Structure 1
């Protein structure tokens, strides 16, 4: 009987359910490992499923990946594995494109509504047992700039348009008539002054790292709100703190930060115009099942010799739209 391929699953203590992995286990030898055992577990493997997608262990174990042909990330972002040796290799990289699009879009809309309706202020007044009438903002007619034009950015654009907001985007290629974004521009600094809400959802690449710096925040409207659901490293954190502290921008909602986790004594925690969530904007109930299902469906393609879904351009660092 012909021996099946070896599939290594990198996890952080919690492994995918056996029932979910059954379509793979019936046709391959599956090795489960945490970071400390990755070098041994990946030796001889043709497939690596990075279920622990926050790992930084792969570069140190790369020397042992002697037969690897395909690496699948259990996330949309692939920056943890975009190191030079992998980029230069023939290993195909795929990601979990699509699973987190709608949940993250809902998170962004929720944060925008929270700002416009001052829900944080309402909670504070309730805790103080204070009945104080106030007026709130409309989001219909306000403007959003989405920085990053991948599938998550598109889902955000569609939801914000449905809520009556006007939407533009900044991406790598300019487009005058895009079905979701309307207009896609390439000059970030020219677009920032037009927006009431700026949503960062770009992938982390050498070109996007620290794109939101003091110059970018100075270009925004003083009443603008900044929402980051991309990567913390898109932002120069000290510049963001300064902009929020001085009133250069009005507020920020941060699902990702740099550094992450955010240290307990970091000044971002105590700024009254900041909302922080622990990198969970896409983590809906059942998301772990969905990322395993995405891998097993792509494994079907791999076994059958069909093209893989969601193949990452390793030069760009993301799946081209």
Structure 2
């Protein structure tokens, strides 16, 4: 539904967390920017603003200050991430403000990241690097990627980009979405897909249905050769259950870009596991990604100003963007 523009100049609160978006001043025209790095600053600048940009998408500041802050003027909230779980809380969703995300910026980079993790596991890259550091010459055999089975949970743009790249190297890919559609399995079919899965890729939004979806019970359905790749959200996984399965060899490995607690605590056993590849929530962050995020927000701001329909509107009932295919 189109969002009618307010009286210019538009006031935009920006939760930036200490790092302001590059080129934002020039991208927003005559909009008045009100910058906030902390929850206290956000509570100060938010009243009277029609638009909120959550550039610091790792912050819970919006939820923290919402009930005690006058948000009556707020009509649109945009987050500089694909996931919306930090801002999709009931009070905001029920406020009448439109919520949008940055869908489309991260699809291909995250798909390349997943493909890289799959190849790294199959070709034993971590062991090769360790042996190189030791100056040890040890011949080994590695695995084929072609012909293996990948189950990708999340059939939105990121999941579909992952499926496309994995399919291009000869993997057999099954997409899993909220409901069944052409080429997509319903979420409740997942248990039947796990027993022959070589690579389980989690690229789903975090919702009540997907939270904790990988736990001891679902891990038990995977074959011992299986690897898990999580580029979705950390709470999709019960981390202790996965850590235990990795420690005992119940599954062969995991590539984890997201975690229940971020940064990952220094005492987590995941840091030292030889069958685990860790990265600090960076699977979609390629050169130029911040500029692309600003450009997307600026385009949506122009739409908001003109009363046109916004891109990437989050369905308040489902908790993700529901247009353009399943999630």
Q: Give me the TM-score of the superposition, normalised by structure 2.
A: 0.93
Residues 21, 292 of structure 1: 8 Å contact kept: no
Q: 1:51 & 1:129 partners in 2: Cα distance? A: 44
| Per-residue deviation, 1:21 | 3.2
Change (3 A) 1:95 1:3: closer
Partner of 2:272: 270
Residues 300, 311 of structure 2: 8 Å contact kept: yes
Residues 43, 66 of structure 1: 8 Å contact kept: yes
- Select the structure with the greater relative contact order (CA < 8 A; seq sep ≥ 6): 2
Greater Cα shift, 298-307 or 185-194: 185-194
Q: Root-mean-square deviation (CA), in Å?
A: 1.3
Match of 1:34 among 32, 37, 57: 37
In structure 2, runs of 5+ residues without a counterpart are 1-6
Match of 2:310 among 308, 311, 315: 308
Residues 27, 295 of structure 2: 8 Å contact kept: no
Matches within 5 A, 1:1-321: 3-17=8-22, 19-24=23-28, 26-35=29-38, 36-62=40-66, 63-175=69-181, 177-178=182-183, 186-320=188-322, 321=325
In structure 1, runs of 5+ residues without a counterpart are none
Q: 1:121 & 1:241 partners in 2: Cα distance? A: 20
| Per-residue deviation, 1:184 | 5.4
Q: Secondary structure at the match of 1:145?
A: strand
Change (3 A) 1:276 1:170: same
* 1:64-94 deviation per Cα after TM superposition (whole angstroms, max 9, x unaligned): 2120000000000000012111121100000
